[in-house]
């Protein structure tokens, strides 16, 4: 028997003066795992946030188990959201996280020993295999997600499980383990909804996909009906056309050039396993470094880009040793980096587009030329950015994700770096943003730049990566 868990009816959500969700109605059934799929502003994020209770619809109704939900506070009592931000209080134990934050704790359970015994009995009952006394900071990334699943199941009021997580630091096998536990706990009780950028997360966790376009539900499709990848590629082909940059160097040319000259090398790079490694990066190539641990990933990116200093690490640029201590030193030697592609954090928010693009290159322009031609240069650069992605806002703080992606990469294309380092470049992106970034990566390598990507997930990188290095196995 099919049981309806959640129903949204004629839901409308307005952002500023525009409806980003338009009269959407849909019924979610018990035990079903549904993936939301669509581009930015397609409506998927607006509906996800409305169901989570993060925002409340301007019009329409939400029902859980046929009960009308009057406001976000009531909704939050019946919905649990799994997201990486949940584990910020990492000094709590597993028992405290599940028992005290589930809304189920009673007076006697505030006693630490009793709470631990109660949660241990619960974890044993569902065969979770977690130690209730272990602190969250000592759990692996997949154990944190499993703990969150247990927390949702422990609270008898939870009917809808919302997953907004890229599963950073988790392997494919980890995600399959999560899926198996999720299915066992959700069956006969909960609906699961997934809203993730990661293609791998969507493929593993969801069986049904709702495709959004223009603030409405375009279609519902299952993997069994059409095949996930084939349908998504067909869907994307109707939404945008990727502009491929003109080929300026053949594969043979690139291989020969890479062999002839090393762009950048880092020696004595410390890993958490008390090992030190040496890495080298060649011109005309893209190299991806796979690091599953989030803290380790950010530290390695910091050491490679100058955001973290370690006096024992040695740097070489085109086979010459260089003494680099800070980000300005790295930029001066044409080693540039971006840790937050698509956000305003890497840009000057109150500057215009042209000012942001030209800023790193000012040292290459003499003061007289800048005074005479600066306005014209910035106007030209703004037009070039507008040709890539049209948006009317003048300063960075008013611009959207895709526009910031364009401006971030255009500024470094003008600078023509020797090395470009990127940390999780697709984290903020929808499918169009992924296509755009991949196009820019190809432009950089065709100009001779060594592109280095540091990530915990190799999604979308197969066709732009020349070499994949898993630092977990070095």
Is the predicted pLDDT of residue 254 greater than 50, yes or no? no
For residue 210, give the nearest of 349, 447, 29, 367 by alpha carbon.
Answer: 29
247 pLDDT band, cuts 50/70/90, is very low
Comparing 355 with 435, which gets the higher pLDDT?
435
For domain 251-473, give the fold.
Answer: Rossmann fold (3.40.50)
Query: In angstroms, rounded to a whole number, what is the distance separating the alpha carbons of residues 292 and 290?
Result: 7
> What pLDDT score does 103 carry?
56
Comparing 462 with 430, which gets the higher pLDDT?
462
285 pLDDT band, cuts 50/70/90, is very high
188-207 pLDDT, tens digit each: 889 999 998 777 888 899 99
306 pLDDT band, cuts 50/70/90, is very high
Round the average pLDDT of the chain to a whole number and report it: 80
Helix axes 401-415, 367-388, angle to 10 degrees: 140
Averaged over 268-282, what is the pLDDT?
A: 87
369 pLDDT band, cuts 50/70/90, is very low
- What single DSSP character describes residue 214? T
211-236 pLDDT, tens digit each: 888 899 988 888 766 554 555 555 54
Domain with CATH 3.40.50.300 in the chain: 4-91+135-239, 251-473
> What pLDDT score does 221 carry?
85
Comparing 90 with 431, which gets the higher pLDDT?
90
Kindly write down the DSSP assignment for every residue of 133-173, as one continuous string. TSBGGGS-HHHHHHHHHHHHHHSTT--EEEE----TT--HH
120-138 pLDDT, tens digit each: 999 999 999 999 999 999 9
Query: In angstroms, rounded to a whole number, what is the distance separating the alpha carbons of residues 24 and 12?
Result: 7
> What pLDDT score does 124 carry?
94
353 pLDDT band, cuts 50/70/90, is low
Query: In angstroms, rounded to a whole number, what is the distance separating the alpha carbons of residues 128 and 122?
Result: 9
| pTM exceeding 0.85 | no
**C-alpha 320, offset from chain centre:** 36
- What single DSSP character describes residue 468? E
For residue 261, give the nearest of 215, 221, 308, 320 by alpha carbon.
Answer: 320
* Cα 257-261-264 angle, rounded to 5 deg: 125
The 10 Å CB-count burial string (b at 16+, else e) for 349-362 is: eebbbbbbbbebee
Instruction: Specify the DSSP element, H or E, that contains 203.
Output: helix 199-205
Backbone angles phi, psi at 23, to 5 degrees: 50, 50
Token pair, residue 441, equals 């990566």
**C-alpha 164, offset from chain centre:** 10
Identify the CATH number of the domain defined by range 4-91+135-239.
3.40.50.300
How many Cβ atoms sit within 10 Å of the Cβ of residue 281? 24
> What pLDDT score does 259 carry?
47
For residue 333, give the nearest of 301, 360, 366 by alpha carbon.
Answer: 360
Say which range, 274-278, 383-387, 463-467, has the weakest mean pLDDT: 383-387
**C-alpha 168, offset from chain centre:** 8
Averaged over 288-316, what is the pLDDT?
A: 91
* Residue appearing with tokens 């169009």: 432
Averaged over 256-264, what is the pLDDT?
A: 67
Instruction: Specify the DSSP element, H or E, that contains 208.
Output: strand 208-213
> What pLDDT score does 381 carry?
45
Helix (H, G, I), strand (E, B) or coil at 447: coil
Comparing 51 with 350, which gets the higher pLDDT?
51
425-454 pLDDT, tens digit each: 988 777 778 888 999 999 999 999 999 999
Is the predicted pLDDT of residue 31 greater than 70, yes or no? yes
> What pLDDT score does 371 carry?
37
Is the predicted pLDDT of residue 270 greater than 70, yes or no? yes
């Amino acid at each position: 028997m099919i049981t309806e868990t959640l129903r949204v009816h004629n839901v409308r959500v307005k952002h500023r003066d525009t409806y980003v969700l338009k009269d959407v109605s849909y019924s979610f059934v018990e035990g079903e795992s549904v993936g939301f799929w669509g581009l930015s502003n397609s409506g998927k994020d607006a509906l996800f946030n409305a169901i989570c209770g993060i925002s409340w619809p301007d019009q329409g109704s939400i029902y859980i188990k046929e009960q009308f939900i009057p406001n976000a506070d009531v909704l939050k009592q019946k919905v649990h959201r799994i997201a990486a931000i949940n584990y910020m209080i990492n000094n709590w134990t597993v028992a405290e996280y599940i028992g005290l934050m589930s809304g189920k704790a009673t007076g006697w359970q505030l006693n630490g020993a009793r709470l631990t015994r109660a949660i241990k009995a619960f974890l044993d009952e569902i065969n979770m295999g977690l130690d209730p006394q272990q602190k969250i900071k000592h759990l692996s990334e997949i154990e944190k997600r499993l703990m969150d699943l247990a927390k949702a199941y422990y609270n008898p009021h939870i009917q809808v499980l919302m997953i907004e997580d890229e599963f950073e630091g988790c392997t494919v096998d980890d995600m399959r383990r999560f899926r198996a536990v999720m299915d066992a706990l959700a069956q006969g009780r909960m609906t699961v909804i997934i809203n993730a950028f990661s293609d791998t997360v969507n493929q593993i966790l969801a069986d049904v996909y709702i495709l959004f376009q223009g603030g409405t539900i375009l279609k519902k499709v299952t993997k069994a009906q059409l095949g996930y990848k084939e349908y998504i590629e067909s869907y994307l082909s109707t939404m945008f056309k990727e502009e491929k940059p003109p080929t300026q160097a053949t594969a043979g040319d690139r291989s020969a050039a890479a062999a002839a000259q090393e762009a950048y090398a880092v020696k004595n790079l410390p890993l958490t396993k008390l090992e030190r490694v040496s890495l080298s990066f060649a011109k005309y190539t893209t190299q991806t470094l796979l690091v599953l641990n989030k803290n380790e990933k950010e530290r390695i990116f910091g050491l490679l880009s100058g955001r973290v200093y370690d006096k024992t690490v040695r740097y070489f640029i085109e086979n010459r040793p260089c003494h680099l201590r800070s980000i300005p030193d790295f930029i001066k030697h044409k080693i540039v980096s971006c840790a937050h592609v698509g956000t305003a954090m890497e840009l000057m928010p109150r500057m215009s587009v042209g000012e942001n693009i030209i800023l790193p290159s000012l040292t290459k322009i003499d003061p007289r030329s800048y005074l005479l031609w600066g306005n014209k240069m910035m106007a030209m650069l703004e037009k070039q950015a507008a040709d890539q992605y049209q948006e009317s806002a003048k300063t960075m703080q008013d611009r959207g994700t895709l526009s910031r992606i364009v401006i971030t990469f255009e500024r470094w294309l003008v600078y023509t770096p020797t090395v470009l380092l990127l940390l999780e470049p697709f984290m903020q992106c929808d499918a169009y943003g992924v296509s755009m970034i991949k196009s820019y990566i190809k432009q950089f390598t065709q100009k001779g730049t060594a592109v280095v990507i540091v990530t915990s997930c190799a999604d979308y990188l197969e066709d732009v990566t020349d070499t994949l290095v898993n630092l977990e196995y070095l």
